Amino acid sequence: MKKAVLAGIVAAALVSLSSCATAGGGSVPAVVIAQPAAPLAQNRPVPAPASLTAGEYLARGILSFERNEFGSAMQDFTNALRLAPDSAEAHYWLGRTYLRWGTGFHNTDRARAISAFTEAIRLDPDFAEAYFRRGMALLDLHVPSFQALGFSGEIEDVSDVIADFTEAIRLDPYNASWYHWLGHAHLLSGDFRSAIAAYTEAIRLEPNPAWLYSMRGRLHQHRGHYDSAIADFTEAIRLSPHNGWYFHRRGLAHLATGHYDSAIADFAEAVRLPGNPEWAAQFNPDRAAAHVARGNARFGRGDFDGAIADLEQAVELLPALWAQLDPTIAAAHVARGNARLARRDYGGATADFNRAILLDPKQRNCAFPTQRRASQHRLSGTNF
């Protein structure tokens, strides 16, 4: 012990000496002294940091989830459940991560997500958000995400979805979005009355309900209640006057009632204003659909030249590849074919009908009888 102390004193003295200037301005050369070995205790390995708690894993996983780092999030939620298997929150977040895992809707693991939400509900029967998320996963299982916002007219069995949304709302009755999705599930099931009731409640709760008025207006349209639909679309336009899609929907309601001038005015606004802001100006299915609708309105009013001009614009707005995916362009060919047929342009009408059927075989039901008549008269040269 004494030797160690003495060695330290000597070393300190030599270092101090090496830094002192001599009277002549020089300095004493530094002396390199080997440092004494560290005590044995200092050579022990540094202990690893303590493992995170379940709550810490959960908190870090949520942060990763919010940053879209789903792989890290899944690992943290799995670790949280390893430490606390009865954590309803960890099961819930794991379920949400399963729904976002992968590169797109088709790569998500819905079955595992549903299982995770179910476990969260078992552990916490009052977990409203878990009911809602399970309902959304079930909805996506029944109706793929890219179809879920539409309504094909085919009735879907979504009773399990409705049950989950209903329970979520019972537990937390102040979420407008949940009423919207409940309304949409009722729409898919064909229960329009319940769907309208759900949207009415959503409108009451939502501070900016323009889109909800539009959704409820569409329900009224499906039921043939055009006056109610027009009233809802008008309110949506009042609240959000720069959304071309609301004008489009109201124009369709006017068109259905034979009010062609009102329909044409609304479709003109739909063409002028943006619909979906994500579409580029040169690639805009919303604008193309507005041209198709206005072309139909002009056709109904007897303005065949105007109808053809609009429908030609619709055909030009959508690239050929998109035309094979969107029935709008096939409908444009059918409508233009009808306008050409009215102008006795039988060759042009036949070409449009053939093109419509090629793009969308379902259009055969609309186009085929008229196509046959057009072809017959084109070949015979007779009028009808």
The 10s digit of each residue's pLDDT in 56-103 is: 999 999 999 999 999 999 999 999 999 999 999 999 999 999 988 754
Give yes or no: residues 251 and 311 share one domain.
yes
| CATH assignment at residue 63 | 1.25.40
Could you read off the pLDDT of 315-325 as tens digits, one per residue?
A: 777 654 444 44
Give yes or no: residues 11 and 92 share one domain.
no
Task: Write down which residue in 93, 115, 137 finishes a domain.
Answer: 115
Give yes or no: residues 233 and 282 share one domain.
yes
Residue 219 has pLDDT above 50, yes or no: yes
Q: What does the alpha-carbon distance between residue 371 and residue 384 come to, in Å, rounded to a whole number?
A: 14
Task: Write down which residue in 317, 348, 368 finishes a domain.
Answer: 317
62, part of any domain = yes
What does each C-alpha distance from 317 to 323, 325, 355 come to in angstroms? 10, 14, 16
Give yes or no: residues 65 and 28 share one domain.
no
290, part of any domain = yes
Give yes or no: residues 276 and 196 share one domain.
no
| CATH assignment at residue 196 | 1.25.40.10
Task: Write down which residue in 257, 291, 317 finishes a domain.
Answer: 317
Instruction: Pick from 193-202, 303-312, 360-369 the range whose average pLDDT is largest.
Output: 193-202
Give the number of domains in the chain: 4
Q: What angle do CA 176, 177, 183 make, to 5 degrees?
A: 90
Give yes or no: residues 85 and 149 share one domain.
no
Give yes or no: residues 235 and 296 share one domain.
yes
340, part of any domain = no
- 135 contact partners, CB below 8 Å, separation of at least 6: 160, 161, 162, 163, 164, 165, 168, 181, 185
378, part of any domain = no
| Chain centre to alpha carbon of residue 33 | 70
155, part of any domain = yes
Residue 18 has pLDDT above 50, yes or no: no
Domain that holds residue 83: 53-115
Its pTM surpasses 0.75: no
133, part of any domain = yes
Q: How does residue 377 score in pLDDT terms, banded at 50, 70 and 90?
A: low
pLDDT, residue 46, reads 40
Residue with more model confidence, 319 or 219? 219
Q: Which residues of 144-172 are buried (b: 16+ CB within 10 A; e: fewer)?
A: eeeebeebeeeebebebbbebbbbbbebe
Give yes or no: residues 111 and 131 share one domain.
no
48, part of any domain = no
